[in-house]
Structure 1
C-alpha cells in the first residue's frame, strides 16, 4: 500500500474514532444529567418531615434534673416510668406495668424489654435505681423532684432497689396516695452521670451540677424520649431529631415519632411569635386573648385551627416577698416594707383593691374565669365558692377599712402611710416579654393608686425575672403566672416551706448562699403539714377534707393573690394531624403520635 493511501486511511480512521468519542461523551453526559435530575427529584419529593414551633425562654441547662424555666425540652427528650395523658390519666411509659401491695407500701415496676438510650446503650433497672437514689434524693443536688418524694411527718424518702434487670422495687415508709403519678419524673442515664455525681468540684459540689450545660455538644446529651437534641444555637433555636432508639411503635409496627424533626425557634416576645406565625414561619403559636379575634378571622385562609382546651391549669397572681431573712449581710426585703407585706390585713386589702373583673373583661376579653384557689377548678379536690371558699371581690371601702384597722393612715394628699409615717410604696415586677402580664401590671398599679398606694411597675427581661425569683430573691412584689394543680401534690414543692419553689418565702437550696434569719409563719407551716398529711391519706373523702382546709388557709393568708384563669388556646397548622391539645399538658404531650398530611 502506498504511503498516500495509508495516510488517507489513517485519517479516515481517526475521524471515525473522534466521532464515536464525541457520541460516547454526549451519551455519558446525558446519562449523568438524567441521574442528577432523578436524584434531585427524589430528594425534592421526599424532604425531611419537620415542624417549626416557638419557645418563649432561653435554656440555661440541658440537665433534666436541674431544668426549671426551660422544661419544654423535656416533652421531647425524656420519659419516666409512667406518663400522664392529655386527660390527666396515668399510663405506662418506660414501665409496662406495676404492682402495689395491699398495704400500699410496696410498688414493683416492670420495665419494657429492649429499652435503649439514644446512644444505643440498654436502659435497665440500674438506671431507675440510680436516678432515684443518687440524684432525686441526693441532698447535695437541688433538684425539684425530691419535693415529691418526702413522705410522712418524718420527711423520709422511699427506698429503691433493683430486683433484676427489668424490675424495680419502691418501699414506702407509709402509704402515699400520689406515688404512682409522681413516678412520671424523668429517668436519667446512669452510665453517663454516675461519675459526675461522685466527683466534687472546687467548691465541694457534685460535678453533676455543671454537667450538660448549654455549651455541651448535642451528641453528648443522651435521652430516652422521642427526640434527641440535634443542635442548639443560643438565642435562635433548638432542633430536635427523631431518636432512632425510641421504644414506641404503632399498631402496624412502625417506629414513632412520625415527624423526623422539630425546630424550636426561641422567641421571647409574643408579638414577634404572632408575626412569624401569620407569615407562615411557625406551625404553632399559643393564643393569648389579644390575638384571638385576629387569628379567628384568619383561621380558614391561614390553614390553621384554633384549639380551645378549656380553662388553663394555671393562673395569674401577685405575690409579696414574705422572707424576713438576709443574704451576705443584706436583708432580702427592706424591713419597713417587709412589715407591710407580712401583715395579713395588708395583703387582704390589696386583694380587695384589685379589680379582677376589670382584668378579665379588658385584658382577657372575658375568655377565662376569676381564680380563687391554688387547686384547679377541674380537680375533684377544688373547694367551690358556694361551699365556703373565701373570695375577694373588688371593694375599695373594705380595703381601706382593713388598712386603717391595721394601723395605716392617710395624709392630706390621700397617700397611704404606715404607723411610722412612711409612705407606702413598693416595686411590682413582671416578665417584660409577656404582654398580658404587662397589661395586668398597669391595671394593678392604677387600682392600688386608688388605695393611696404608690406602685413602681418594673417589667424586666425573662432571665432577670426568673433569676430574682429562684436565685437572688431580691424582689418585693411580682405579678406572674403560677401553677394550680389538678392533683394538689403535683405542686407540693410550692407549699412545703423547705421546698424548692416556695417562692413567697424561699429557703436557700443546696449550692446557694445561705439565707440568715428566715422565719416560717404558723399558717405557712400548717399548709405544708397538711400537704404531707393529704399525700399519706388513701381515703379519698379524707384527702378531700384536708385539701379543703388548705384552700381555706391560703385564701385567708394570701401568699398568692389569685387573679384570672385564662382559657388554654393554641393555633396549629392543619397539616399537623393528631393534635389533642390539653389544658393540663399543652399541645405536644403526644408528639410521637403527630403526623403531617403534606411536607412543605
Structure 2
C-alpha cells in the first residue's frame, strides 16, 4: 500500500486510531473504552475531497484512499521502488518505451482479475489519449499505451522523461468501471464499505489481497472526521485511539508515557506562497523583503519546538542526492527588508493578507508568529482563516489570494516536487514564471544520465530561491504516536502509512 501523494497537502493532521468493533465501544472497569482487536479507527481533520483517484486532490485523501488502491509500483522505507501490481519492467534504449509484466491472479474488490486492459484503460484516462481530456497533467508525456497480451503492457512516451517510472505509483482501476465516485473499487488491502460525508468512511479487510504477507490482521478500518487534536490526544491516552500521526512536538510531550513514537524528516515543504501576479508580490524586491523579514529559527523553535529542518528553497534535504544546499540565502535582516520595500516604492510598508487553512493548527501557529515578525519590517499582516475544503478551489485551483501558508508533501521523484513551479503547470498556484527555470527542468527530465538530472534539478532550486518565488520555511519532523499495545508502523521519506501492517497486541 502506498501513499503517492498528489501535489498537495496542507501539513496534514491525519490521525489513525483504533477502537472497539462496536460504534460505542466496550467499557473497561475504569470507564474508558477498550480497544478492539478487529477495528482500527482513523480520524482526520480535512474532509475527503473525492473517493475517485481521477478527481482526488488533497494529499490527506490520498493517504486514506491508497488503502483501497494499488499502483504498478510502490516505495519502501528507503524510498526505493518495489513491485506492486507489476512484477518487473524494461526500458528501451532511447528511454521512450516502458514494458511492464503484470502479476497474475490479482483480483479487484469486485472479483474481476487484473489484466493488461485495466492498466491500458487507466493510463489512457490519465493521459487523455482517447478522450483528449487528460485526468492528470503529469501523464501528458504518454503518447500510447497498449496490451501486448493479458499480462504485458507497453507504454510509449512522446519523449524521454526520467520521472515517468514514479508515475507508476498511481492507482490502477478496473476498465470501464464508472462508479468510483460512490463505490470505489481497487486491489488494495482494504475494501470500501460506506461513506457518510463529514462523518465517517468505513473500510474492511481484503481477504484476497495479492500481497499475502500484508493482509491486515484486523478486520475493519474506520476514518472519522474530527477537528479537535486535544480530543484525539485524550482518546489515545484512554485507549480509544491507536495511532495519531502528524502530531506537533508539543502534542508529543503530552503523550509521553502513554505512547511510543515514530519520528523523522517527512520530505515536506512548508511555504508562504506569494502570488507572483498580485501586487505587491509581482515585484521581486517585495518578495525578497518578506524572505529577509522572517526569522525561520524562531518559527522552528516556537512552532516545531526545534524539531524541523530550516529551508531556503522548495526542496527538502530528505532527498540528499538532489538537494541543493544554498546556505543562509535569506538571513533574518529587518533593515534589509525595509530597504528593499523602500526601493520598490513602499517606504511606508505594505498590507499583506495571508489565507490559512484553519484545519491545520501548525499553519495557524506559523501565521501568528509571522504576523509579529513581519510587523517589525513594516509589513502589516491580516490572517484570513478558511476551511481547507475551501482553500483547494479558491487558492490552489483558483489562485485567488495574495499570500497563503501551506505544506506540500514530497515525492521520491524530484521532478514531481519541482514541476509545480513550471510556467505551464496547472498546479503553479503562485503564478511563478521564469523561462530559465522551465529550461533547466526540461533538461533534467530528459537527461540520459543521472548527472544531468542532478545538475538540472539543483539549478531549478537555486533559480526559484533567488527569484524569491515564495518564502520556503521548513520541513517539520513527522511525529506519529502509537498507543501502548500497537506496533508495526514504519517511517518513510514520503507521506505513506503501512496501515495494513499494524498490529494490536493488547
Tell me if TM exceeds 0.5: yes
Kindly indicate whether residue 400 of structure 2 is the aligned counterpart of residue 400 of structure 1.
no
Alpha-carbon RMSD: 2.2
Please state how far the C-alpha of 1:140 moved relative to its aligned partner: 5.7
SS across alignment from 1:274: helix
Change (3 A) 1:493 1:228: farther
Change (3 A) 1:384 1:472: closer
Q: Give the alignment of 1:127-142 within 5 angstroms.
A: 127-137=118-128, 141=133
User: What corresponds to 1:107 in structure 2?
Assistant: 98
Please state how far the C-alpha of 1:551 moved relative to its aligned partner: 1.0
Cα shift readout 1:264-286 (whole Å, capped 9, x = no counterpart): 11113333332332332211112
Q: What is the rounded CA distance, in whole Å, between the counterparts of 1:312 and 1:487 in structure 2?
A: 14
Deviates more, 1:105-114 or 1:241-250: 241-250
SS across alignment from 2:316: coil
Please state how far the C-alpha of 1:173 moved relative to its aligned partner: 3.3
Change (3 A) 1:281 1:501: farther
Please state how far the C-alpha of 1:557 moved relative to its aligned partner: 1.2
Kindly indicate whether residue 173 of structure 2 is the aligned counterpart of residue 188 of structure 1.
yes
SS across alignment from 1:293: helix
Q: Tell me if structure 2 keeps the 8 A contact 1:142–1:500.
A: no
User: What corresponds to 2:291 in structure 1?
Assistant: 351
Cα shift readout 1:388-426 (whole Å, capped 9, x = no counterpart): x5611110111111122222223xxxxx2xxxxxxx213
Kindly indicate whether residue 327 of structure 2 is the aligned counterpart of residue 383 of structure 1.
no
Q: Give the alignment of 1:68-107 within 5 angstroms.
A: 68-69=57-58, 70-107=61-98
User: What corresponds to 1:285 in structure 2?
Assistant: 244
Q: Tell me if structure 1 keeps the 8 A contact 2:107–2:209.
A: yes
Cα shift readout 1:507-552 (whole Å, capped 9, x = no counterpart): xxxxxxxxxxxxx73x1x3323322221111311111111121011
Q: What is the rounded CA distance, in whole Å, between the counterparts of 1:595 and 1:49 in structure 2?
A: 10
Q: What is the rounded CA distance, in whole Å, between the counterparts of 1:121 and 1:283 in structure 2?
A: 34
Q: Tell me if structure 2 keeps the 8 A contact 1:212–1:221.
A: yes
TM-score, normalised relative to structure 1: 0.74
The structure with the largest strand share of the pair is: 2
Q: What is the rounded CA distance, in whole Å, between the counterparts of 1:166 and 1:158 in structure 2?
A: 20
Q: What is the rounded CA distance, in whole Å, between the counterparts of 2:342 and 2:75 in structure 1?
A: 49
Q: Give the alignment of 1:206-221 within 5 angstroms.
A: 212-213=180-181, 216=182, 220-221=183-184
Q: Structure 1: 5+ residue runs without aligned partners?
A: 1-46, 152-156, 194-210, 324-337, 411-415, 417-423, 506-519
User: What corresponds to 2:32 in structure 1?
Assistant: none
Kindly indicate whether residue 9 of structure 2 is the aligned counterpart of residue 50 of structure 1.
no
Q: What is the rounded CA distance, in whole Å, between the counterparts of 2:215 and 2:368 in structure 1?
A: 47
Change (3 A) 1:99 1:142: closer
- The number of residues matched between the two structures is 467
SS across alignment from 1:504: coil
Match of 1:495 among 417, 421, 430: 421
Q: What is the rounded CA distance, in whole Å, between the counterparts of 1:373 and 1:484 in structure 2?
A: 13
SS across alignment from 1:376: coil
Cα shift readout 1:29-56 (whole Å, capped 9, x = no counterpart): xxxxxxxxxxxxxxxxxx7612122222
Please state how far the C-alpha of 1:354 moved relative to its aligned partner: 0.8
User: What corresponds to 1:461 in structure 2?
Assistant: 387
The structure with the largest helix share of the pair is: 1
Match of 2:153 among 160, 164, 168: 168
Q: What is the rounded CA distance, in whole Å, between the counterparts of 1:262 and 1:71 in structure 2?
A: 15
Larger Rg: 1
User: What corresponds to 2:447 in structure 1?
Assistant: 537
Change (3 A) 1:368 1:532: same
Q: Tell me if structure 1 keeps the 8 A contact 2:397–2:429.
A: no
Q: Tell me if structure 2 keeps the 8 A contact 1:87–1:584.
A: no
Cα shift readout 1:441-481 (whole Å, capped 9, x = no counterpart): 11111111112222111112222222322344322110111
Q: Which has the higher contact order (CA 8 A, sep 6+)?
A: 2
Q: Tell me if structure 2 keeps the 8 A contact 1:374–1:483.
A: no
Change (3 A) 1:545 1:390: farther
User: What corresponds to 1:584 in structure 2?
Assistant: 494
Q: Give the alignment of 1:542-581 within 5 angstroms.
A: 542-581=452-491
| Regions of 4+ moved over 6 Å | none
Change (3 A) 1:465 1:494: same
Q: Structure 2: 5+ residue runs without aligned partners?
A: 1-35
